[in-house]
């Protein structure tokens, strides 16, 4: 039996009945439409109920001890990462120190390539010596591009050789969506990484080189008579924060890797692409705020609330 609907017959002024086609003819179109709607919907993420809005292009929250992923947004897509690149530079420098090739108290003077590097700086001067410890702080606090280029020369002899090692190491530790073009993160299409890869690198540093983690907790760094503040505004202000690295370019926006520890739980928050501002300080404040929201939620969830997805999906009555 066919269904019918009433439609006006404009020629006679009467209402006539139009027959609908059989269900077997229009049902496939309904099913196709429903499938398209489902495909366009964002995937549900178990365990993220109550997560506050995070104003960033992409992020990930990871347990540093287990590698468990707690929350994500666009976490596996590569993006520009600006000076977050220096985490790989630091990792290779830490490996070199650990091997005995370099020592923290060794003194050097800057090479010409470091002195000619633009952008953010630890303010190296010709002939002014620095120690390896100062070189590390020059990257972790003011994010000195000169310090990163100097580290590349000390570890590998040249920037090209160092960058090749950066990319080899990235593959070795599982950063499969990452490419590096330089040791400092200055803009280039080949400086890209996903939030997941950055979290993997951060976790690797925390696991393999815990002795170097105090370098990431400095609020300020003074060299050549100039004191530079840490753009990670959580450092020194939030007791559980242990680091770790900021970054900014026009292409990348404001980026921040923030690490924290509470009650023996260590979390890593990677925030990429916080909307940029002409006022760079305001941008880093906002990146720090997004990271703090993510970490606060993660600690509350990890420490105090069990993961009960079926309860989280239950609607209030």
Which of 121, 143, 177, 194 is flagged as catalytic?
143
Which of 86, 120, 194, 288 is flagged as catalytic?
86
Q: What is the 3-state secondary structure (H, E, C) of the chain?
A: CCCEEEEEECCCCEEEEEECCCHHHHHHHHHHHHHHHHHHCCCCCCCCCCCCCCCCCEEEEEECCCCCEEEEECCCCCEECHHHHHHHHHHHHHHHHHHCCCCCCCEECCCHHHHCCCCCCCCCCCCCCEEHHHHHHHHHCCCCHHHHHHHHHHHHCCHHHHHHHHHHHHHHCCCCCCECCCCCCCCCCCCEECHHHHHHHHHHHHHHCHHHHHHHHCCEEEECCEEEECCCCCCCCCCCEEEEEEEEECCCEEEEEEEEEECCEEEEEEEEEECCCCCHHHHHHHHHHHHHHHHHHHHHHHHHCCCCHHHHCCCCC
Q: Is 143 in the active site?
A: yes
Which of 73, 83, 228, 246 is flagged as catalytic?
83
Q: Is 4 in the active site?
A: no
Q: Is 18 in the active site?
A: no
Catalytic residues: 83, 86, 143
């Amino acid at each position: 039996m066919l269904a019918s609907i009433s439609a006006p017959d404009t020629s006679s002024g009467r209402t006539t009945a139009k027959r609908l086609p059989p269900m077997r003819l229009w049902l496939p179109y309904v099913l196709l439409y429903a499938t398209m709607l489902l495909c366009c919907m964002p995937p549900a993420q178990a365990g993220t109920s109550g997560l506050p809005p995070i104003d960033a292009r992409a992020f990930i929250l990871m347990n540093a001890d287990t590698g468990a992923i707690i929350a994500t947004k666009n976490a596996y897509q590569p993006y520009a990462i600006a000076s977050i690149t220096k985490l790989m530079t630091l990792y290779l420098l830490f490996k070199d120190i650990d091997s005995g090739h370099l020592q923290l108290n060794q003194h050097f003077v800057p090479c010409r390539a470091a002195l000619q590097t633009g952008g953010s700086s630890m303010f190296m001067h010709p002939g002014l010596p620095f120690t390896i410890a100062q070189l590390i702080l020059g990257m972790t606090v003011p994010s000195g591009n000169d310090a990163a280029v100097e580290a590349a020369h000390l570890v590998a002899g040249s920037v090209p050789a160092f960058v090749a090692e950066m990319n080899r190491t990235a593959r070795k530790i599982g950063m499969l969506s990452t490419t590096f073009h330089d040791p400092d993160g200055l803009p280039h299409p080949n400086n890209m990484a996903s939030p997941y890869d950055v979290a993997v690198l951060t976790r690797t540093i925390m696991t393999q080189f815990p002795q170097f983690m105090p370098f990431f907790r400095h609020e300020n760094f003074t060299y050549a008579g100039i004191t530079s503040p840490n753009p990670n505004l959580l450092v020194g202000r939030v007791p559980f924060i242990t680091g770790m690295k900021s970054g900014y370019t026009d292409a990348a926006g404001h980026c921040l890797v923030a690490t924290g520890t509470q009650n023996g739980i260590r979390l890593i928050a990677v925030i990429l692409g916080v909307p940029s501002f002409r006022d760079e300080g305001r941008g880093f404040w906002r990146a720090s705020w997004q990271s703090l929201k993510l970490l606060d939620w993660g600690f509350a969830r990890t420490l105090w609330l069990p993961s009960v997805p079926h309860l989280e999906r239950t609607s209030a009555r």
